[in-house]
Amino acid sequence: GDAFIDIVPLWCFLFSLVGVVLGPVTQGCAERLGVVRSAGCFLDKLCIHQTDAELKKSGIRSLGAFVRKSRTMLILWSPEYFTRLWCCFEVAVFLQSEREKA
């Protein structure tokens, strides 16, 4: 009873670790073999540097180009979403690029 409960976190950790390692490896192999297409993901808060001003500026300048190349856009909605200028910019660029593709 108790011994099993004590090792459950260890098993969860080990299987999570295997998934974290094998997931990207198998995805990369599948892309190279042509089984699946690469699916990039851009999270502005993570992909744009938040403390180095020059890197942040460079990331912001590239934002429009990345959004224009995107096929889909997923918005993690909150009541404050459209109070942030860069969020308005991302949506406007995406909608305009979709309009141009049509």
Kindly compute the dihedral angle of the four CA atoms of residues 47, 81, 71, 67, in this order, to the nearest 10 degrees.
-50
Contacts with 36 (C-beta within 8 Å, 6 or more apart), sequence order: 27, 30
Residue 30, pLDDT score: 67
Read off the tokens for 38: 């690469």
Average pLDDT, the chain: 79
| Choice between 18 and 75, residue whose per-residue pLDDT is larger | 75
With 70 as the cut, is the pLDDT of residue 81 above it? yes
Residue 93, pLDDT score: 92
| Mean per-residue pLDDT, 72-93 | 90
Q: Express each pLDDT in 5-52 by its tens digit.
A: 566 677 777 778 777 777 766 766 766 776 666 666 777 777 788 888
| Mean per-residue pLDDT, 48-60 | 87
Q: Three-class SS string for the chain?
A: CHHHHHHHHHHHHHHHHHHHHHHHHHHHHHHHHCCCCCCCCCCHHHHCCCCCHHHHHHHHHHHHHHHHHCCCCCCCCCCCHHHCHHHHHHHHHHHHHHHHHC
pTM over 0.75: no
Q: Is 34 left (phi over 0), alpha (psi -120 to 50) or beta?
A: left
With 90 as the cut, is the pLDDT of residue 82 above it? yes
